């Protein structure tokens, strides 16, 4: 009976979204699917014999291509998916994390980052044999949430093994996304095992520290309070404020959605209004070309999770049809060989495997193939 539940429940998250997604216009949908096929073919041709992509010491760089492949269909490029799943399962540590230890190196394997992304990729494959590993990884992620009584409480950093208190919104949003996407798999946990979950209220309080409440940046989110990435600004009253930027605002929106804030909540509405005021696909607002492809990716994940097929504009009736605009834009950016690449190397985006994986997932979400 448990196996039957597993087979029907593994992909519930993506399936429900696909039923609700507003499809692209027919011609654009055909273009999107052709672009996805071309990009996936390019990715598969660059998979290593051991199943990994790019740097085998960073499982997330294998998980992202796997996630893109699985989101196009569980039987798409099946052999490549099987090799990637095998590689990721082989990276799981006794503590449940999916990472490669790097003794003496700051971050020691970026356990939280790698595990969260790997969990989402494994879950996307809908393979029953991945469930035990996912449940162990959920234990690891839950134990990585920062506890205590300081500004980091409720958040996540790159690695729980770090010798200093450190958290940021990027790692936090990945952890929240992974835990919410795989929450239904707790029903498959063996009887007697303690279920893994987060302190969602603490996570929300942490994330909201990064949201601006006034000025042009109102509603937007920064990376963290100590290192906002886009700098700070001083308002008319002399108060120093974090500068928000595009990709972190979508990460903040996703965190609020996963913490179960309703779309009518003022903080959610303020974030959506920021996204509308700063709407562009030419750059990552506040960062220029830095992190552009991650910006496409987190935009699609956040707006899909929020159930927004269009982004409303203040005092205007022409809402932004983000699915159509994003799909058309990234299709135009695709290189002749099927890949995408950022000329700006910030956050590794000149690695075409990373940029291509980010973009394929964004395009698949825009087309309603996955969430």
Where do the domains of the chain lie, and which CATH numbers do they carry? Answer: 2-366 (1.50.10.20)
Beta bridge partners of 241: 233
Which of 7-16, 249-258, 322-331 has the lowest average pLDDT?
7-16
pLDDT value, residue 4? 35
| Tens-place pLDDT, residues 27-56 | 999 999 999 999 999 999 999 999 999 999
* pLDDT range class, residue 64, cuts 50, 70, 90: very high
Residue 60 neighbours by CB under 8 Å, 6+ apart? 110, 113, 114, 117, 118
Higher pLDDT, 300 or 214: 300
pLDDT value, residue 116? 98
Residue 317 neighbours by CB under 8 Å, 6+ apart? none
Higher pLDDT, 250 or 148: 250
pLDDT value, residue 298? 98
Number of neighbours of residue 316 by Cβ within 10 angstroms: 9
pLDDT value, residue 214? 85
pLDDT value, residue 17? 40
Judged against a pLDDT cut of 80, whether residue 108 lies above it is answered with: no
Judged against a pLDDT cut of 90, whether residue 11 lies above it is answered with: no
* pLDDT range class, residue 230, cuts 50, 70, 90: low
3-state helix, strand, coil in the chain (%, to 5): 50, 5, 45
Encoding tokens for residue 32?
């999107």
Judged against a pLDDT cut of 60, whether residue 196 lies above it is answered with: yes
SS3 label, residue 321: coil
Encoding tokens for residue 351?
């690695």
Which of 297, 366, 251, 303 shows the shortest CA–CA distance to 18?
366
Mean pLDDT of 100-125: 89
| Tens-place pLDDT, residues 155-172 | 999 988 776 678 999 999
| Tens-place pLDDT, residues 331-371 | 999 999 999 999 999 999 999 999 999 999 999 999 999 98
CA-only gyration radius of the chain, Å: 20
Question: What separation in angstroms does the CA of 52 have from each of 14, 90, 96, 111?
Answer: 24, 11, 19, 17
pLDDT value, residue 139? 98
Judged against a pLDDT cut of 60, whether residue 236 lies above it is answered with: no
Question: What separation in angstroms does the CA of 314 have from each of 3, 261, 272?
Answer: 49, 21, 10
Mean pLDDT of 127-131: 97
pLDDT value, residue 68? 98
Which of 117, 236, 112 shows the shortest CA–CA distance to 181?
117
Judged against a pLDDT cut of 90, whether residue 175 lies above it is answered with: yes
* pLDDT range class, residue 243, cuts 50, 70, 90: confident
pLDDT value, residue 329? 98
Encoding tokens for residue 71?
């989101």
Judged against a pLDDT cut of 50, whether residue 290 lies above it is answered with: yes
Summary mean pLDDT of the chain: 90
- What proportion of the chain, given as a percentage, has pLDDT over 70? 89
Query: Rounded to an integer, what distance in angstroms lies between the CA atom of residue 340 and that of residue 345?
Result: 13
Which of 3-17, 178-192, 279-293, 318-332 has the lowest average pLDDT?
3-17
Beta bridge partners of 233: 241
């Amino acid at each position: 009976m448990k196996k039957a539940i597993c087979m029907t429940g593994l992909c519930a998250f993506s399936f429900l979204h696909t039923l609700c997604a507003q499809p692209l216009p027919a011609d654009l949908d055909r273009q999107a699917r052709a672009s996805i096929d071309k990009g996936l073919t390019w990715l598969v041709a660059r998979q290593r014999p051991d199943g990994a992509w790019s740097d085998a010491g960073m499982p997330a760089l294998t998980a992202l291509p796997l996630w893109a492949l699985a989101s196009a269909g569980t039987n798409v490029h099946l052999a490549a998916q099987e090799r990637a799943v095998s590689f990721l399962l082989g990276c799981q540590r006794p503590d449940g994390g999916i990472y490669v230890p790097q003794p003496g190196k700051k971050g020691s394997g970026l356990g939280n980052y790698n595990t969260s992304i790997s969990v989402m990729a494994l879950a996307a494959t809908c393979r029953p044999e991945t469930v035990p590993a996912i449940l162990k990884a959920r234990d690891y992620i839950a134990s990585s949430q920062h506890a205590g009584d300081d500004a980091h409480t409720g958040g996540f950093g790159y690695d729980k093994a770090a010798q200093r208190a450190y958290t940021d919104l990027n790692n936090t949003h990945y952890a929240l996304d992974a835990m919410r996407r795989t929450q239904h798999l707790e029903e498959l946990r063996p009887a007697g095992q303690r279920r893994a979950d987060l302190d969602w209220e603490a996570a929300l309080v942490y994330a909201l520290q990064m949201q601006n409440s006034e000025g042009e940046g109102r509603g937007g989110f920064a990376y963290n309070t100590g290192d906002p990435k886009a700098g700070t600004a001083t308002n008319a009253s002399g108060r120093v404020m974090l500068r928000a930027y595009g990709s972190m605002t979508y990460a903040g929106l996703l965190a609020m959605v996963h913490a179960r804030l309703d779309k009518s909540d003022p903080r959610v509405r303020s974030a959506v209004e920021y996204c509308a005021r700063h709407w562009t696909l030419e750059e990552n607002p506040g960062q220029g070309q830095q992190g552009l492809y991650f910006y496409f990716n987190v935009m699609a994940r956040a707006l899909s999770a929020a159930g927004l097929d269009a982004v409303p504009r203040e005092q205007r009736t022409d809402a932004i049809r983000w699915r159509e605009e994003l799909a058309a834009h990234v299709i135009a950016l695709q290189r002749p060989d099927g890949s995408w690449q950022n000329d700006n190397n910030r956050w590794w985006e000149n690695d075409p495997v990373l940029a291509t994986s980010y973009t394929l997932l964004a395009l698949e979400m825009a087309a309603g193939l996955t969430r």
